Amino acid sequence: MLDFSPGKFQLYQNYPNPFNPATNINFSVTSMASVAISIYNIRGEFIEQLVNNMYEPGCYSVNLNAEEYASGIYLYRLKAENSVYTKKFMIIK
């Protein structure tokens, strides 16, 4: 079980993974921060801006509906203040 603790700034692996057509992306922030989550294809090409908001300290979950995406491997990147985290997910149709 994951520890969704606001004491750590983290990006968690999406669940479920692989998926079709929707998944959840969880993250936590330690201080008030501007958070952006972007989706990229495996070649690094920008696909979609999923989140671009200010967040207070805490744990959050964002739903990604990838119904319009093709099957394959994608990356999701979280940027907040001076931190960048990247994980990958797979869509199987």
Q: Is the peptide bond before 6 cis (omega within 30 degrees of 0)?
A: no
pLDDT at res. 81: 83
Q: What are the beta bridge partners of residue 54?
A: 34
DSSP 13: P
The reported pLDDT for the residue numbered 1 is 40
The rounded distance, in Å, linking the Cα atoms of 33 and 51 is 12
Predicted confidence at residue 7, as pLDDT, reads 61
Whether the upstream peptide bond of residue 57 has omega within 30° of 0, thus cis, is no
With CA atoms as reference, report the closest residue to 17 among 85, 61, 84, 72: 72
pLDDT in tens, the chain (93 residues): 455 555 668 999 999 999 999 999 999 998 999 999 999 999 999 999 999 999 999 999 999 999 999 999 999 999 998 889 999 999 999
